[in-house]
Structure 1
């Protein structure tokens, strides 16, 4: 087994419960970690035998473009797509952070973190 991480994916998106948030948009950071068997790819040196982090980034960017009220909803969509589109992934964890959230204080970010495991 092994872990592949794609960290600090920066996107501008329109998520939030406030009307202004979905209209104006804001900056987000997404961090992703997937667990998979990397032994075959380590031996064969073929992209087809591993988890393609270009695909992981594409999934994140596409799902972040779809507005949602809650970050949890976005994270769940990302996780479900990863398991659907890559059979090698046995477990995935995603953190979605809203940078400078409008919560009436000096807060750098708010982050939610979720994990999904493939059912055996």
Structure 2
């Protein structure tokens, strides 16, 4: 299995437990990996034989604009749904980071990591 990675996709989304997070929005950073066989597109240089990652970027930007939810877990599930609508049930991996969570005295980030259709032998 080959992988297409999209890294450091910044998304402004209305996600959070606090009212102002959902009202005002905040930055998230997303890394995704899509598992598929790239040998045909590598041989033929044919875009139709691969997953056009520009479609994922545009669809995820649209999702972030329209979504309003409490948890990054829900946000991640919506991301998987968008990707499956585009590419089918490919192995997918994501890391979704809330860039500046509103926690007093905390200056780091919080992230979750999830996989869908991903077997143990596929690794990281």
Q: Does the pair score TM above 0.5?
A: yes
Which stretches in structure 1 are left out of the alignment for 5+ residues?
A: none
Which stretches in structure 2 are left out of the alignment for 5+ residues?
A: 119-124
Normalising by structure 2, we get a TM-score of 0.86
Match of 2:85 in 1: 84
Match of 1:48 in 2: 48
Count of matched residue positions in the alignment of Structure 1 and Structure 2: 117
CA distance in 1, matches of 2:69, 2:117: 23
Tell whether 2:72 aligns with 1:71: yes
Superposition CA RMSD, Å: 1.5
1:105 Cα deviation after fit: 2.3
Asked if structure 2 preserves the Cα contact closer than 8 Å seen for 1:91 and 1:117, the reply is yes
Match of 2:9 in 1: 9
Moved more, 98-107 or 69-78: 98-107
Moved more, 38-47 or 109-118: 109-118
CA distance in 1, matches of 2:69, 2:95: 16
CA distance in 2, matches of 1:107, 1:81: 31
